[in-house]
Structure 1
């Protein structure tokens, strides 16, 4: 069926199913996440009798291959073979910057297959053990690449990925004979209308049957276990308490070591861990983890900005940045050696080098978290994890407001949600200072379920992003400007031309810091003269290597064609 016919079909389905499953309920509704792995629905535990809407759908189909054929194998074998792969083409590729035991890995990202672009829909049916309906189904529209008001999810990403293992270098995969191909469907962040499409679990409900219009005769079955008296409530909160007392005027002196305590809580305010400690990495990742606390998981479920499951990375991290009036992107690279060093807190930026001060701390500490991945015995993953930590203010800390931001994610009884909390500390002055942001307003697009307080880290304060989002030696695309450029330049759902800088940038000066990272996080090519002078593009996110964050000159590219500035 071609796209116009599917659009007509979508409109007809909207009319036929108007109001279906949206009857009001006395029970508080919560958004749940559905997952299908190679045709098998992942079991779902939900509070008994709960009223739910669908906030997230992840479907993955994968095959292994011994020859380099892109993602052609997915057209022949596996769960997505029937979808229609005509038109598929390579969109981007990159290498992991760290080699593993078997060498380097290459990632190739594919788009434009027919199934990725056409409108489609899902029906979610509550059923009993015999497959009989136990309530009204709900109908969810995925839309197409072009965003429409009828779309039920803010984030829609359909693509395929080829992984190549055993590459000789970070640019050469000649002779490789181990590949993995995967098709991915990611729907996230239910929009306002979709949150009203609810179903209430009957005591007879044993599964959710997920029908996709592109696979109408092969529904997925997601087993459901209803938990009668769960220990915790839905929802997630993070409390951050300063433990270091301020001076009499409520401020801290430069050079002070600031101590903080972290408390993770459910939506009713109940603690998810005992005060004084957090669970070990092994307990969270390999244990039962009843409270649903999350730690970094990309060791086991690799992520890629925009292209692959970044929402499932699930880092628990805190950072400090300031003073607020100095906040700006950080371009100094944080190397892996810093993560693996003896300090639990990592210095990201200094006033002398970066114009702003910043440190961050992961939970567990990075030396245990990442060190455990390189240790055959994974001893760091069994190490105790404290719920307190320190940030060291520099002796030359400028007066102003410093922002301490902590973000994490909780996965509990079907609910998969982020949360971010920012506390302010005054250093050297009682006068509150603020960041001067050079971009905005994001809410012209990020609305109706796509608000910054809901997507990503559920953080609406963009001034707090730069401290965590510094370039890492093993992940150069860290800075926010790189990620925002990359995502919006690749997304067909961004309604404006990426060349029109004025849609986001507020001043002409804010588009004039020219570097490979600034330009090639958006542009996919540059002139032959640039290739000759600066080398070919080798990184789809920042253009090149560590040099990508160096400012080119003050005289080149002081304007941008069509920028509106």
Structure 2
């Protein structure tokens, strides 16, 4: 069944190539005081000193980001399975098949380890919703990670999230997730991960081993969507009262099969974001099959094995196009670009009620066109690894691997001066392209593998934006994001393009949050993390992160949760001036925001509110509208102005 968070993100969907037209010249510079340094991006694609390597395993098998399990082929790997989970199956944990994927690395190229994800997951094994003892026992005594020190493991959260369905196809549903943490192995700070490349015999080394420490990675916490020790109950109705743990199955939709509850128990160890890209290793020049071996110091006798194939440019087909339109071998990296049709009035800005075209151009890091045919590849091509590395989100990644960061998207919003999170249900949301009352841009689904009827369809790279009649004048932003996995490099890149509506004079963001550059600079710059978006555009995060509804966690809840649970964020967590540039921006308390740090706020007093009808913010989404209008949060340092 297709669940909605995945689908809603796909409705913002995109990816990219250029077309020769009379195009509007737009820029991507929004250098606002307090926002931070300009984009700093030395760690992506061929211009980098080394390529960032992403490695993933699922239930004992290496997995590519498109969901294909990696085959060991003829390698001497007795400890690597002959069959792997079929991630396209309804229950990939019980259906196994012969793997067909190939993990290729470029011979003679320097890499550094940027992501290591090791997962062991079982489905529908632990169905007692009121007693998770057996789920915990599986983690500690049966999972791939059973030989770690699980002492002091305890429950740290029990939360519900909402997933909106597609009308007539799937239903709104809830997921209950119980997370555990604080096991002794999680509190170790000096453990290491040794990376080696071995010959096909599994013994002969091809390189000097490189040792990484846990401190070499920025993120590994559940709040950021990374390491998760947990149990989930999925596809159910909301609980009926506080403490209600019973599963309430969804009613059966007419013409659709039943959607019974699903139960998922997982141990996922996930470290992402290298803090030291200079700790590199070089894939040997000798092409052919080899083995990449990762040995974790906490499991010294149980290495994680990745069958690889070392290739050279001569082994690769010329599937990109250079500036002259000639076929060339693609390079590393990804660079999505927008170009615009010319305004009808000839004045350099669009008028309210005007329609214009967006043209999307997808390039690699060397400037080569990744889609020379002028269309987006089909889901079939993507799953067959024929998309030049372009990634689409899939049910496999979203539900089986619990991998949320593969969604290409575009969004148009504005004017910039009005980009504020809507928390008062009485106020109209005036500026988001997903809102039919404003810019009304709704794209076709890019996640094609979920829909068999369009599985083989290619998709346009031209989009029409219909500005509303009452579009407010000012500067608007078009955000475009793409994801790619190519020869071991997993990368995301988001670009922002600004254009004028109703007037030539530019306007700017509210300039209410910023200072990200205090921590996010150099290798840790926002441009190198998560979505690949420069720090200049931090106030545009809300364009996609549920700026005007309660469908899923809003950006302020996500940001507070990630930073306040991170041991790497050492600033005073009660000092709001670190990120808030204005006093007004810190004076909108809500249950969601406050609970991101204080999970027991008000206890169960407002239990029913989080399960009320979703969509517009309910009146408890902003507590300042009700009880806290006259009082500021106590114990917090607020901006003076």
After TM superposition, is the score higher than 0.5?
yes
Task: Give 1:346 deviation, angstroms.
Answer: 5.7
Q: Look up the SS of the partner of 1:549 in the other structure.
A: coil
Aligned counterparts, 1:515-534, within 5 A: 515-527=590-602, 531-532=604-605, 534=606
1:446 equivalenced with 2:538 (yes/no): no
Per-residue CA deviation, residues 285-337 of structure 1 (Å, 9 max, x unaligned), is x322340111222x222369xx95333xx11111111111221124589xxxx
Q: Look up the SS of the partner of 2:302 in the other structure.
A: strand
Distance 2:384 2:414 in 1: 38
Q: Contact 2:513–2:539 at 8 Å: present in 1 too? A: no
Structure 1 unmatched ranges of 5 or more: 1-24, 143-150, 334-344, 351-356
Q: Contact 2:193–2:213 at 8 Å: present in 1 too? A: yes
Q: Which has the higher contact order (CA 8 A, sep 6+)?
A: 2
Task: Give 1:175 deviation, angstroms.
Answer: 6.2
Task: Give 1:535 deviation, angstroms.
Answer: 3.4
- When structure 1 is superposed on structure 2, of 265-274 and 176-185 the one drifting more is 176-185
Q: Contact 1:319–1:358 at 8 Å: present in 2 too? A: no
1:60 equivalenced with 2:123 (yes/no): no
Task: Give 1:39 deviation, angstroms.
Answer: 2.9
1:117 equivalenced with 2:192 (yes/no): no
Q: 1:499 aligns with which of 574, 581, 585?
A: 574
Distance 1:325 1:211 in 2: 51
Distance 2:211 2:493 in 1: 28
Task: Give 1:26 deviation, angstroms.
Answer: 12
Q: Contact 1:517–1:548 at 8 Å: present in 2 too? A: no
Q: Contact 1:402–1:427 at 8 Å: present in 2 too? A: yes
- Change in Cα spacing, 1:160 to 1:411, as seen in structure 2 (3 Å) is same
Distance 1:446 1:213 in 2: 29
Task: Give 1:163 deviation, angstroms.
Answer: 2.1
- Structure with greater strand share of residues: 1
- Change in Cα spacing, 1:408 to 1:489, as seen in structure 2 (3 Å) is same
Aligned counterparts, 1:84-483, within 5 A: 84-98=149-163, 105-119=175-189, 120-130=191-201, 131-142=203-214, 151-157=215-221, 158-165=227-234, 167=236, 169-170=238-239, 172-174=244-246, 179-191=263-275, 193-203=276-286, 206-229=290-313, 230=316, 231-284=329-382, 286-297=383-394, 299-302=395-398, 309-311=403-405, 314-331=406-423, 347-348=434-435, 360-362=441-443, 365-366=444-445, 369=447, 373=450, 378-460=452-534, 461-470=537-546, 475-477=551-553, 479-483=554-558
Task: Give 1:185 deviation, angstroms.
Answer: 1.3
Q: Look up the SS of the partner of 2:542 in the other structure.
A: coil
Distance 1:434 1:518 in 2: 26
Over aligned residue pairs, what C-alpha RMSD do you find?
A: 3.3
Distance 2:360 2:144 in 1: 43
Q: 1:35 aligns with which of 35, 56, 71?
A: 56
Task: Give 1:170 deviation, angstroms.
Answer: 4.8
- When structure 1 is superposed on structure 2, of 410-419 and 257-266 the one drifting more is 257-266
Task: Give 1:169 deviation, angstroms.
Answer: 4.2
Distance 1:84 1:508 in 2: 46
Q: Contact 1:329–1:466 at 8 Å: present in 2 too? A: yes
Q: Look up the SS of the partner of 2:139 in the other structure.
A: helix
Distance 2:179 2:141 in 1: 18
Task: Give 1:443 deviation, angstroms.
Answer: 1.6
Q: Residue 27 of structure 2 aligns with which residue?
A: none
Distance 2:158 2:478 in 1: 35
Per-residue CA deviation, residues 440-482 of structure 1 (Å, 9 max, x unaligned), is 20121223422111112111211322221226878421x3212
Structure 2 unmatched ranges of 5 or more: 1-45, 64-69, 71-102, 222-226, 249-260, 317-328, 426-431
- Change in Cα spacing, 1:168 to 1:196, as seen in structure 2 (3 Å) is closer
Q: Look up the SS of the partner of 2:625 in the other structure.
A: coil
- Change in Cα spacing, 1:423 to 1:104, as seen in structure 2 (3 Å) is closer
1:82 equivalenced with 2:171 (yes/no): no
Distance 1:561 1:332 in 2: 22
Q: Residue 632 of structure 2 aligns with which residue?
A: 559
Distance 2:568 2:48 in 1: 34
Q: Contact 1:51–1:199 at 8 Å: present in 2 too? A: yes
Q: Contact 2:409–2:482 at 8 Å: present in 1 too? A: yes
Distance 1:504 1:103 in 2: 34
Task: Give 1:101 deviation, angstroms.
Answer: 8.8
Distance 1:424 1:346 in 2: 14
Task: Give 1:139 deviation, angstroms.
Answer: 0.8
Task: Give 1:210 deviation, angstroms.
Answer: 0.4
- When structure 1 is superposed on structure 2, of 453-462 and 103-112 the one drifting more is 103-112
Task: Give 1:500 deviation, angstroms.
Answer: 2.2
- Change in Cα spacing, 1:462 to 1:166, as seen in structure 2 (3 Å) is closer
